[in-house]
Amino acid sequence: MLRPADSSEKIMKKFLLPLLSLVTPLVAADPAATAINTLGIELLERAARPGENSALSPFSIQTALVMTYAGAEGDTRDQMASVLHLPKDAVPAFAALQKQITSVPEEITLSVANRLFGQKGYDFRPAYLTLVKESFGAPLEPLDFENAPKESRDIINAWVETQTKDRIRDLIPENAITEETGLVLVNALYLKAPWAEAFAKGATVPQPFHLADGKKADVSTMTREDSFGYQKREGYTAVSLPYSGGDLQFLILLPDTAAGLPALEKSLTPALLAEAAMLPSGQVRLFLPKFKLEPPLFALGDTLKALGMKSAFNLPPGSANFDGIAPRRPNDYLYISNVFHKTVVEIDEKGTEAAAATAVVMMRAMSMPVEKPEPVEVRVDRPFLFAIQHRPSGACLFLGRVTDPR
C-alpha cells in the first residue's frame, strides 16, 4: 500500500506535471524590449504600405534613436521618450539589452555596429561622445560635410555595406547629406542564423499560397515535422522555430483566413509578442514558404512627427534641443532632418540571413521535451506576420508581414 506522501508524489508526476508543461511560461517584461516591440508595431502599421510585403528592424531603429535621445534636453527629450516608449534610464537599459542579444553561440553570426559620423571640428560634448562609445560601442568618425557632402555620404553608405555584408546598400539617399549636415548616427545589424534543425531540401516543392484577393500562386514551400513552439489562439495560430542555440527564434503569426491579416495586425501588441517568445511546445508538421523580402527604403521622419516627436525635427522652428550632444547656440544648433531605415530578410532550408541599418541624419540650424503526440498540421499558405525574436527578452530584431512570398 502506498503511503499518502508517495501517493501524492505519483499523482503529481502522472497528472499535474504534464499539464504544467502545456502552460506558456511567463516572460518577464524587459522594459527596453517592450519599447522596441511597441515602436515596431506602430511603424509596421504606419510606415509600411498596407497589404504589401514589408519588414523592418525595431531593434535597429530604436538603437539609433536612443543614441540620439541620449543628447536631447527639455521638451525634445520628453517627446522622444514618449514616442519611443522609453523606460527610465533608457540608455543603460538599451546598452544592457544589446550586450545580451549579441551574446550568441558561435554558429550564429549576429553583429551590431554603431557609429557617429560628425562634422570635423564641430563642438561635440566630450561627455556625450564618451557615453555613446561606452554604452553602444559607437565611436565618432569626423567627416567634412561642409566641403564634401557627397563624398561623406559615400563613406557612410560604404561603412553600412561592410557591416551588413553588402546586404544593405545606399542607406542614405542622394541629397540627404548637405553642407549643413552636422551629425549622422548609424546602427547596422547583420544576422546569419541556421535553424536548430535544417529543412530537407528534397522536401521543398511548389505549394499553393492563397493571396488576400482570393487568387492562388504556387510558391516553393519547405516541409518539416518537429517539436515547435505552437499555440492555437482566437483568430490565428502561433508557431515558433528555434535557431541554433535556442536564444533566437523565428515566429509565425498565421491568421485563420487569407483575408485575416489586417485584423491580426490590429490585434498585435507588445504583450502578445512577449508571450509568443515562450510558446508551449507541440508536435507540428509545418509547411513554410521560402521567401526573400527587400522592402524599399523607409524615410521615417514624417511617421515619427505624426506620432508626436516634433521638437526633435525642429517643429516649431527653434524648438530642437540637443544641447547634450553639442552646445546649443542661437545661430547654430542640431536637429533631426530625417531617419532612414532599410531591411533585407531571406528564409530558406538552412536558416535565415537578415540585415538592417538605420541612420539618424542631424542638420545644423544656422538660425534659430514531452510524450510525442500526433502532429498538428500548419500550412503557412496565406498572408502572415513574422518576427525574428530574442527569446529571453522578447525583443524583435525583425518584424514584418508576408503577403506574397514570390
pLDDT tens digits, one per residue of 1-11 = 334 444 444 43
- The per-residue pLDDT for range 346-360, each reduced to its tens digit, is 999 999 999 999 999
- Rounded Cα gap, residues 359 and 298, in angstroms: 11
Rg, Å, the chain Cα set = 23
Q: Is the pLDDT of residue 163 over 90?
A: yes
Average pLDDT for residues 293-309, to the nearest whole number? Answer: 94
Average pLDDT for residues 254-268, to the nearest whole number? Answer: 92
Average pLDDT for residues 276-305, to the nearest whole number? Answer: 93
Going by pLDDT thresholds of 50, 70 and 90, the confidence category of residue 12 is: very low
Average pLDDT for residues 148-167, to the nearest whole number? Answer: 96
What's the maximum distance between 2 C-alpha atoms anywhere in the chain? Answer: 92
Going by pLDDT thresholds of 50, 70 and 90, the confidence category of residue 68 is: very high
Average pLDDT for residues 300-304, to the nearest whole number? Answer: 95
Task: Give the pLDDT confidence score for residue 381 in this predicted structure.
Answer: 87
H helical segments located in 70-125: 74-83, 90-101
Return all residues near 276 (Cβ < 8 A) that are at least 6 apart.
Answer: 229, 238, 240, 251, 253, 387, 389, 394
For the residues of 346-382, what is the DSSP string, one character each? EE-SSEEEEEEEEEEEEEEES-------PPEEEE--S
Q: For the chain, what is the mean pLDDT? A: 89
- The per-residue pLDDT for range 270-289, each reduced to its tens digit, is 999 999 999 999 999 999 99
Average pLDDT for residues 98-117, to the nearest whole number? Answer: 92
Q: Is the pLDDT of residue 255 over 60?
A: yes
Average pLDDT for residues 136-155, to the nearest whole number? Answer: 95
Nearest residue to 347 (alpha-carbon basis) of 268, 294, 280: 294
Going by pLDDT thresholds of 50, 70 and 90, the confidence category of residue 23 is: very low
Task: Give the pLDDT confidence score for residue 88 in this predicted structure.
Answer: 85
Average pLDDT for residues 191-203, to the nearest whole number? Answer: 94
Work out the percent of the chain whose per-residue pLDDT is above 70: 91
Average pLDDT for residues 248-274, to the nearest whole number? Answer: 93
Task: Give the pLDDT confidence score for residue 16 in this predicted structure.
Answer: 38
* Inter-residue contact 332 to 365 (CB < 8 Å): yes
Better pLDDT: 184 or 7:
184
Q: What global pTM score does this model have?
A: 0.89
Task: Give the lowest-confidence range in 23-32, 172-181, 297-306, 376-385.
Answer: 23-32
Task: Give the pLDDT confidence score for residue 378 in this predicted structure.
Answer: 86
* Inter-residue contact 141 to 164 (CB < 8 Å): no
